[in-house]
């Protein structure tokens, strides 16, 4: 790509995937809580959407609650701890999205004990670390561990971690943020033995502002209302729910995920190989291999020696490429708790950038990005 080109190449899919309106409904009149015919029609559309989502996810429709997205789903679970007598400790992996990590800090200020679950240099929670954390915090009642990290793509072995959690008495509620996993890696909510999970539509081609909370058993939410069986107050977003069902059917069925993941792996293997040839480029973690089963093939974190991440982002932006530093939700802050938890020093943290791809990313985009990186490194 040359600098005069106005063509844009998008490498920030982990922040939001491009939205293509495909909702199979138009003109909803009723409120699903009304008992007249229009209300019943609206209710039917909503429940059909729930059933379609449940079929894709392999769970019962009554375990799914529509929310505004991943952040709200995470919040509903975390803040339910305030309603619990005895306020058991809330554990969270130190690489969680800000919607978990920052709210654990709020919970702590509100008197709920919290505790971090550390990660290895590769940003993953090991069974051993989890076991030790549970031994240390005998009062733990919740543990939030994400399936795929939004900054590095690190994948957690959820079923192995769940087995460790299940040995704990009294029981610990296992919550899993699936936002970067759904549609990107094979996900098995019942097989992973999760108690709750969060899903967001805008990472898989649906609109922002709609998501799902999976709850194996209902919990007592902080905010109350009649909708969504008392779990999520507010008149339901029916158009959003149908769009989410469309997006899940299009992107998250297991056959689609395995096909798209294989293609994503091919592109990422090539990109990682090329990045390794750039002497100033250091992958995060440094030992990430080209087709590394520890990481999602949709996201990578890297740094370019001597170039602050923000400078790299702006330079590439002016060349037509969208990448990011950290999660979009924390891009206003300079802190990078995920990289810090992985043991990186301040210099490395300042230089970290995230590159993420999606299902319309092409080899041509990857080649152009490599050329773009080499070009900007020439003057940075
Ligand atoms: N969890 C993870 C891992 C994410 O990457 C994001 C969004 O970046 C969220 C939660 C928040 O989801 P939403 O934007 O739907 O609130």
Q: What is the pLDDT of residue 4?
A: 44
69 in contact with ligand 1, CB cutoff 6 A:
yes
Percent of the chain with pLDDT over 90: 89
pLDDT above 70 for 256: yes
Provide the pLDDT for residue 333.
58
Taking the C-alpha atoms of residue 363 and residue 262, their distance in angstroms, rounded to an integer, is 14
Per-residue model confidence as pLDDT tens digits over 43-74:
999 999 999 999 999 999 999 999 999 999 99
> Is 329 among the catalytic positions?
yes
Tokens at 35, concatenated = 């008992």
Q: Which of the pair, 25 or 201, is modelled with greater confidence?
A: 201
Rounded CA separation 376/380 (Å) = 6
Read off the pLDDT of each residue in 352-379 and give the average, rounded to a whole number.
Answer: 97
Indicate if ligand 1 lies below 6 Å from the C-beta of 211.
Answer: yes
Q: What is the mean pLDDT of residues 196-225?
A: 96
Q: Return contacts of 341-346, CB within 8 angstroms, 24+ apart.
A: 341/94, 341/95, 341/116, 341/118, 341/119, 341/123, 342/95, 342/119, 342/120, 342/121, 342/122, 342/123, 342/152, 342/284, 342/285, 343/121, 344/284
Q: What mean pLDDT comes out for the span 336-341?
A: 96
Strand order in the sheet with 299-304: 281-284, 299-304, 352-356
- To the nearest whole number, what is the mean pLDDT of the chain? 94
| pLDDT greater than 60 at residue 2 | no
Mean pLDDT of 32-53: 94
Of 203, 196, 190, nearest in space to 177 by CA: 196
| Per-residue pLDDT at 329 exceeds 70 | no
Which residue from 12, 69, 209 has its CB within 8 A of the most atoms of ligand 1, so it is best to mutate?
Answer: 69
To test the pocket of ligand 1, the residue of 12, 69, 70 to mutate (highest count of ligand atoms within 8 Å of its CB) is 70
């Amino acid at each position: 790509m040359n600098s005069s080109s106005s063509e844009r190449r998008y490498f920030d899919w982990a922040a939001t995937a491009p939205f293509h309106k495909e909702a199979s409904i138009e003109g909803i009149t009723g409120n699903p809580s009304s008992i007249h015919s229009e209300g019943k029609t609206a209710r039917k559309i909503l429940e059909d959407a729930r059933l379609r989502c449940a079929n894709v996810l392999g769970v019962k429709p009554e375990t799914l609650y529509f929310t505004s997205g991943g952040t709200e789903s995470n919040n509903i679970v975390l803040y339910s701890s305030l309603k619990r007598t005895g306020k058991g400790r809330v554990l969270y992996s130190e690489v969680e999205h800000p919607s978990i990590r920052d709210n654990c800090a709020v919970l702590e200020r509100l008197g709920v004990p919290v505790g971090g679950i550390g990660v290895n240099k590769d940003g993953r929670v090991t069974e051993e670390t989890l076991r030790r954390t549970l031994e240390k915090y005998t009062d733990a009642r919740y543990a939030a561990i994400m399936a795929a990290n939004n900054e590095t793509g690190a994948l957690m072995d959820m079923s192995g971690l769940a087995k460790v959690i299940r040995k704990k008495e009294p029981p610990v509620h296992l919550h899993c943020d699936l936002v970067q996993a759904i549609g990107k890696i094979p996900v098995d909510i019942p097989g992973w033995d999760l108690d709750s999970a969060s899903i967001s539509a805008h990472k898989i081609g649906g609109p922002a502002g709609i998501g799902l909370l999976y709850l194996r058993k209902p919990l007592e939410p902080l905010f109350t209302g009649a909708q969504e069986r008392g779990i999520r107050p507010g008149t339901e977003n029916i158009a959003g729910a149908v769009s989410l069902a469309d997006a899940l059917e299009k992107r998250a069925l297991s056959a689609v995920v395995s096909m798209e993941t294989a293609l994503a792996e091919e592109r990422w293997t090539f990109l990682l190989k090329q990045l390794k040839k750039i002497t100033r480029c250091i992958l995060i973690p440094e030992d990430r291999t080209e087709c590394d089963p520890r990481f999602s093939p949709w996201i990578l974190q890297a740094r370019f020696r001597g170039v602050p991440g923000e400078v790299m982002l702006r330079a590439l932006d002016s060349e037509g490429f969208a990448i990011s530093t950290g999660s979009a939700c924390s891009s206003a802050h300079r802190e990078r708790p995920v990289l810090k938890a992985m043991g990186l020093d301040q210099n490395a943290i300042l230089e970290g950038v995230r590159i993420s791809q999606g299902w319309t990313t092409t080899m041509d985009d990857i080649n152009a990005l490599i050329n773009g990186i080499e070009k900007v490194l020439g003057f940075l």
